[in-house]
Structure 1
Amino acid sequence: MANMFLLLTLTVLQINRACSYNIGRDRLDDSFMQSDTHGWMEEPALESYNTVPKGCGGKPADVYFVLDTSSDVTHDQFQRQIQFLVDLTPLFHLGQDTTQIGVLAYGNNVVTVARLGAYKDSSEIQESIKVTPRVGGARDTAQVLRYLRTKAFSPVVARRSAAHVVVLLNAGLSGSSKLMRTEATLLKKTGAYLYTVGVGDSGDKGEMEEVASWPAADFIFRADDFTIVESLVNILHIHECDFQIDPPLSQNYKNKNPVCSPRRPVDIVFPVDHIAIGSVNTEKILNVIQGFLLELEPQFVETAVLFSKTHFADALNLNHLEGVKLAHERLQTVVFQDLGNLLKRTRRVLGRGRQGIQKTVVLFLDDSVPLTDSVFAEAKRNKYLKIETYVVYVGTNYKQRDLELVSNGKGNNHVVQINSYEELSQIRNKILVNVCKGL
């Protein structure tokens, strides 16, 4: 799982706009060879977005995650599916007027793991995914596609006004390819969009193409990469983020005179090593970021918030008791990624953003975030690629010189230092002014 960890910000989010990615009408009419019976492709009025917090969310969607738990699925393949969906879940802002998620498992039968819309919090969905049962039996993809069409997306369960999306994981050949093709076609004709995700080397690409929506490049993926996120963003016009900002920004906020009006387009990423910093102080940082974003002129700015990750769930069997020796072996595989990895992910996110424009990073850290050789190496690479980096440091232990090496400038313009988190809200404007000077 080391190579697949969250790239949920492959495409950076656009702030305070009703729609961050627009699919041209020509493409919808000529290229998408399936029905749009819901009418959700139409460009809605701005008022229809009032229930979606700025920062995350998108067009209303009913989404089903479907796990392959057939008998021939190995333990490793099963765990990959679980981790893939756990990592994918935070992309969506859950709510009655935004996204509802349901979870199914299939083998020779279909089992409901989580009813559509039953959970209103991403963490609850993630916990239900982690306890997905093994259905077993021969793989019957046709049956789960029929179930989705006739029951899961039936009018009494799903919303007709919302996008219908399926993320179907597959680890091998289905028993009846002809019936599978028929059921896939019928489901797509209802307007549902089908993503197929191959697990390991077992997923059959030919079958995946027959099931997936068209064009295949936008709807067929593998569980060891997260480029599926880019396609979901394009289809659902999602305002993407790595971490759900809670509470959401006020929907009544109207900032007619933003403090910072960039002279040119700019992509800004806020990396936060929340594992080292801790949840309490991370929340304080998020509050500052929210206020910062509200003072940016949205016309030229796209942004994302990135958080540190750890490969923990794969290493431990969190749902069952097990022997001491096996538990000891699993614990030895736990990997905690440092700030260097977060800076690398930041560079990749910016690299996949808009081309030929300024790239800016505002990095928050404190004394609990180790400044390792990896951190300095990744900071140097970012500097070489002309990524403008600002450091907001809470603490007293690190030398100014080291902080300047992590940033790419000298003096107070690129490094803002305070002694405690209680001072953080007081220096928000200073951060804003420093960053705006370079925009």
Structure 2
Amino acid sequence: MRLLIILHLGLSVVSIIRTEEDDVCGGKPADVVFLLDSSSSIEFSDFHKQIRFTQEVVGLFDIGSDRTRVGVVLFSDSVHPTIDLSRYTDKTSLLSAIRRLQYIGGGTHTGEALTFVVDKVYNINEREGVPKIAIVLTDGQSYDKPTTIKEANRAHAAGISIFVIGIGLNTDESELRAIASDPDGEFLLQIESYSTLERFKRSLAIKACEVEYVEPQQLLMDSPGPEACSLKVIFGADTSGMTTGNSLQISTFFSDVTEAVTSSVGHLQSSQITSDCPASGGTGSKSYAPLLRKMRLQVLSGRSGVEPVGVLVVDSPIADMSATGREVMRSKFQNFKLLAVALSDASVSQMAKVFRTRVGSREFQKHVFEVDSAENLQSLAPQIGNLLIGQCFE
């Protein structure tokens, strides 16, 4: 069996217990590769908690050149191979090498790590007929969701069965489902915190041992990527009272989001609706209900079979709270998902009210995004693009 374990751990506690000298696979061969997240989102102490967790899982297998082999790769801004699959053939030396691994820091390039495992680890250390299994633990989101999804599909096509454990409230469920093998009931587990992780260690290892060898699909490996999905994105902004520079920044932002999505969906329709003469509420506020209505009607006028999403830029307090709230609810009833980007002058508390949620709540964070100026809108483009792609594959 080949077992790939990706650990992407954040701020939480994993109970530390002694390593068990116990082979849960009954001597069945395995190739185990741990991919450990060493990005800056993980505190130094938590990085060592995941090192200890890795040791505990390794302790459940019978290590040997003709039994279970273990490798370790760290990933952050790039991939850092540290322990090759064929390097250690006894458990004592292997556990000692894992304990010496050092924290790196940086971004979370999960997709690049998956690429490395498919192309460099298993491709070089092939053992015919041995199952390949990935166990992904994450409490957050990858830096580049489209790449992560594509590379997860390549891993599936390479015959790697992937278990995913999502921990806490900051995971992206659509991303987890895209990474996990089917059915989700067997391969996807979501838990509240790392404090409950320990209880799943043994049962997960047993499940991994039950996975059979999957024959690689060469055609899919040559043509990676998610299944075709049709997406319709309606962008909206009220440009009245804006400087020409800010209007251009918003238009560029819309284009950047579109570009981020285009290569990851089968078919994309996008359009921009702007208004330069809205009903004004005075004192710098604007009425957004008319703009939202135009966006909603634009969705209804299109073809069926597409996933509709709206991205609204709000740059001022909302003058027509009740009407805007009604338009948000009508959009929800029509399965038209809305995302709102609040610029510095917008009222975030008002945004929470029209979306019927609380500022800072998980639901709020799914729908409302804040940025301090139009110039910095571009920094949100990858994140918004990932959310749109996730909507397409939910």
TM-score between both structures, scaled by the size of structure 1: 0.40
Higher-Rg structure is 2
More strand by share: 2
Report 1 or 2 for greater relative contact order, CA contacts < 8 Å, sequence distance ≥ 6: 1
